[in-house]
Structure 1
Amino acid sequence: MTFAPLPGWPQDRTSAFRLQLAELARLAGVDLPDRMPRDREWQGEARMAFRRALRTVETLPDLLFDPLLSTAVLDPDPSHNRLFVEPAVTVFGRRRVQTALIEYVRTGTDYERAGAARAWYWAQAPLRFRGGRTRVPTPESKAEFDAVGDLRAAWHEATLREFVSNDDLDVRRCILPGLPLNPRHYPADLHDLVAEAVHIARTHSDEYLRHRVEHQLG
């Protein structure tokens, strides 16, 4: 089964990203391109400016952590936000980045919650597997994956609770693709919430949610 791409965010929300990007540029000493007639083109050029500036960076001042992660969370593009997430993970550590994203889901605005769900994809510890057809992970990647197991569980619980309790469509659209829907991923006291999340997605008026949940359950 194929599934529809995640719908984009409303255009009027990109203004928050522009402002945050300008603030990060000021703090980091990065020159942004001049404004262009098309905002999307300017965003692309601005991201590339940061990519060039951060490509070989091994350390950043601590004062850049919050602005860097906030820029990632506010970035309306779910692919290009990695340009801000990955340097934050490299310099400040995966645990600190994941902890901050969990806090966004728990206490942020709906816009920030949705953005944190998009950013989480790039903050995860990927499993890398040995050559051939084996599904045995390399010891190094398994150790890195296990090191943040507690945060992964905290993320799943926080996003599950948010999906069920928050009726903001963008929040639900952004959370669902990364939300495990098998009760075995959760403690027993959350199993009813998993069933409720499935019911919400299956009966929702939004076509993306209905399509996506069947893909994940299939």
Structure 2
Amino acid sequence: MDIVVHDLNPSFNEILIRRIVAAVGHRPVHEGIIERLERGTFAEQVGATYAWYSAQPGRHYLSSTAFQRGEPTPRSALRYTEWQELLPRYREAGRRAVARCGDPERRACLSELTANSSEIVSIGTPPDE
């Protein structure tokens, strides 16, 4: 997690996070990101918001017909549901981090990043499904 939260380039961050998720699973990665948002330095908190975005499991579909019917693969539906269960904790950690931040510019930056990173979900068909 040290490397993940210090990589402020989201495209490189995503490559690393995918490998970590493959090794340990989504839940430990999400828990680690929340922990850094709660207890990290400002730079780690910013990195955690980028990591949260990159660690989203998304919902994946086997075909355009499945997408139109709203039927994601069972595996991706489960991952997405587990991620959604952690969203309130992530948002609360972000809210507390923003409230603790004494610098107005940093507070505004952190507020925007935590709000934006908690809503976006990817769609696609990963190679392992």
Amino acid at match of 1:172: S
Residues 138-180 of structure 1: per-residue CA shift (max 9 Å, x gap): 2221122223443222112212333354341442342231245
Residue aligned with 2:10, SS: coil
1:112 to 2, 25, 44: 44
RMSD: 2.1
Kindly report which structure 2 residues correspond to 1:22-171, keeping only aligned pairs within 5 A, or say none. 69-129=1-61, 130-132=63-65, 133-166=68-101, 167=104, 168=106, 169-171=108-110
| Unaligned ranges ≥5, structure 2 | 120-129
* Counterpart-to-counterpart distance in 2, 1:179 and 1:94: 15
Choose between structure 1 and 2 for higher RCO, CA contacts under 8 A separated by at least 6 residues.
Answer: 2
Task: Give 1:131 deviation, angstroms.
Answer: 2.5
2:123 aligned residue: none
Say if 1:160 and 1:179, in contact at 8 Å, map to a contact too: no
Q: State the TM-score, normalized to the length of structure 2.
A: 0.73
| Unaligned ranges ≥5, structure 1 | 1-68, 181-218
Aligned residues: 112
Larger radius of gyration: 1
Q: State the TM-score, normalized to the length of structure 1.
A: 0.46
Identity %: 26
Amino acid at match of 1:174: L
2:122 aligned residue: none
